[in-house]
Amino acid sequence: MKLWDKGLPTDQKIDVFTVGNDRQLDLVIAKYDVQATLAHAKMLYRIKLLSNEDITAIEKELNVLAKDIEQGTFIIEDHFEDVHSKIEFVLIEKIGDAGKRIHTARSRNDQVLVAMHLYLKNELVQIKSQIKELAHDLLTKAETYKDILLPGYTHLQIAMPSSFGLWFSSYAESFIDDLYFINAAIKIVDQNPLGSAAGYGSSFPIDREYTTRELGFETLKYNVVAAQMSRGKSEKSTAFAMSSVAGTLSKLAMDVCLYMSQNFDFMSIPSKFTTGSSIMPHKKNPDVFELIRGKCNKIQALPYELSLLINNLPSGYHRDFQLLKEGVIPAIQNLKASLEMASYALKNVEVNKNILDDDRYDYLFSVDTLNELVMQGMSFRDAYIKIGLDIEKGEYTPEKNTKHSHIGSINNLCLKEIKEKLEQV
């Protein structure tokens, strides 16, 4: 069944090619199509295009469908083009003419639009919650290990003393930046496109304000052509927000992989969180973080994939838009899984508390020694040259017993301010 079927046959090869994998992907948005269909039906009832009997029967059957979808028993057979045709078929089969009236003042185009807007909004809200949970976990770790020193690196060369407090909280604050992108994407998708029909509105006296309230949208997309143009733009906005999150998460995963290596030995995770080698019995591999890194790097490519897909398309609907789901839906699932696994694994990270005992980190303290000379009255330039020459001659002796009060004060300030920012975002 196709919503546009007029009784004329379609070539089988054309049918297979144009449907693609919509049936599988549409299972993800099925519950949102049911929600939107119910809101649309209630609106049609309010403007007297459906009777009391119609709306009662439609609501009953849509609730049954919603339950089937929730329980995982809802399927889209091969003779249906998509979820929208399957739902309308079931309604017609169960309640007859009332089901035939459900498409009044509606196009498959705004059905897809509203279902995707609802789906993206819901998923972005969930992703936001996951990010905040992970950020809280990182701040807890930062508080626990704020006084444990960690070598800072620039150019992959030993630089200055840092701390695990700074390292953990740096990612917490970076995720807050990502939350700003997520909030912006939510703002964009939280606009009701239902009622735009095929992009040029409807001559029926529909009540778009009502469906906006009924579906929980913040506002509606007033211009029906603009509503149509939100297809692709909403997905791309979501993709850019997810790309920002993925960039932070990928960098975090890379740090963990690096810090877990024997050459660094900054941190470890329990053996049950690692995998082994089929030939080397000593191996404990951080596959979880490597996969997070890989999945997140793929997600960072998504905005550009979508941009190429919809670039230079004129206003109005084009079948190219069907392909948006193929990139966005798996990316959302991968990002949510990566956030979940990162949070799960990082809760069990153990840090090495004696990293700086290694002589390779002696020069890490050269800046502290330089600063002490400046505090004693020497100019910065002379102190800089003196310490540099002492190091070259092998005459520099670090004072590792220094408590590095500047690290402690930075930690405390960071944690306080970052916690406040996280609560506000």
- Residues 285-332 have pLDDT tens digits of 788 999 999 999 999 999 999 999 999 899 988 888 889 999 999 999
Give the model's pLDDT for residue 374.
Answer: 93
* Residue carrying the six token digits 């196009």: 107
Q: Distance between CA 347 and CA 345 in Å, rounded?
A: 5
Which is more confident, 335 or 281?
Answer: 335
Residue 331 in contact with residue 120, Cβ under 8 Å? no
What confidence score (pLDDT) does residue 56 get? Answer: 97
Q: Which residues contact 329 (CB under 8 A, 6 or more apart)?
A: 25, 28
Task: List the domains of the chain with CATH numbers.
Answer: 12-100 (1.10.275.10), 108-151+163-203+222-357 (1.20.200.10), 359-424 (no CATH)
Model confidence pLDDT, tens digit, residues 198-237: 999 999 999 999 999 999 999 999 999 999 999 999 999 9
pLDDT at 98 over 50: yes
- The burial of 59, by beta-carbon neighbours within 10 Å (0-12 exposed, 13-18 middle, 19 or more buried), is given as middle
What is the rounded (10 degree) CA torsion for 234, 238, 213, 211?
Answer: 40
For 76, counting Cβ atoms within 10 Å of its Cβ (0-12 exposed, 13-18 middle, 19+ buried), the class is: buried
Could you report the per-residue pLDDT of 49-72, keeping only the tens digit for each?
999 999 999 999 999 999 999 999
Q: Which amino acid is at 384?
A: Y
pLDDT of 248 over the 70 cut: yes
Mean pLDDT value across residues 353-360: 89
Task: For strands 267-268 and 350-351, give the pairing.
Answer: antiparallel
pLDDT higher than threshold 70 for residue 75: yes
Structure tokens at 17: 């090619």
Residue among 66, 81, 70 at smallest CA distance from 35: 66
Distance of CA 275 to the CA centre of its chain: 26
Look at residues 77, 63, 55 and name the one whose alpha carbon lies nearest to residue 34.
Answer: 63
Count of all residues that appear for the chain in the document? 425
pLDDT above 90 for 124: yes
Q: Which of 197, 236, 196, 246 is closest to 220 using CA atoms?
A: 196
- How many percent of the chain have pLDDT more than 70? 89
Contact 43, 214 (CB under 8 A): yes
Q: Which of 188-192, 198-202, 222-226, 361-365 comes out lowest in average pLDDT?
A: 361-365
* Percent of the chain with pLDDT strictly greater than 90: 69
How sure is the predictor about 406, in pLDDT bands with cuts at 50, 70 and 90?
Answer: low
Distance of alpha carbon 305 from alpha carbon 54, whole angstroms:
44
Compute the mean pLDDT over every residue in the chain, rounded to the nearest whole number: 90
> Rounded CA gap, 58 and 37, in Å?
9
As a 3-state breakdown, the chain gives helix, strand, coil percent values, each rounded to 5, of 65, 5, 25
Residue 250: Cβ within 10 Å count: 21
Distance CA 119, CA 308 (A): 23
Most confident of 20-29, 116-125, 340-349: 116-125
Tell me how far CA of residue 176 lies from CA of 136, 293, 302, 414, in angstroms.
11, 19, 21, 13
pLDDT at 178: 98
| Alpha-helix runs per DSSP H in 157-286 | 164-189, 208-214, 224-260
Of 183-192, 277-286, 387-396, least confident by mean pLDDT is 277-286
Cα–Cα distance, 33 to 82 (Å, whole number): 11
Give the confidence band of 168 by pLDDT, cuts at 50, 70, 90: very high
pLDDT at residue 4 in the model: 42
Within a 10 A sphere around the Cβ of 303, how many other Cβ atoms? 21
Distance in angstroms (rounded) separating the CA atoms of residues 252 and 178: 14
Mean pLDDT of the 335-350 span: 93
First to last CA, the chain: 46
Q: How confident is the model at residue 13 (pLDDT cuts 50, 70, 90)?
A: low
Q: Report CA torsion sign: 307, 313, 314, 320.
A: negative
The predicted pLDDT at position 360 comes to: 87
Can you name the residues that pair with 191 across neighbouring β-strands? 219
Two structure tokens written together for 186:
């939510």
Count other Cβ atoms within 10 Å, centred on residue 287: 13
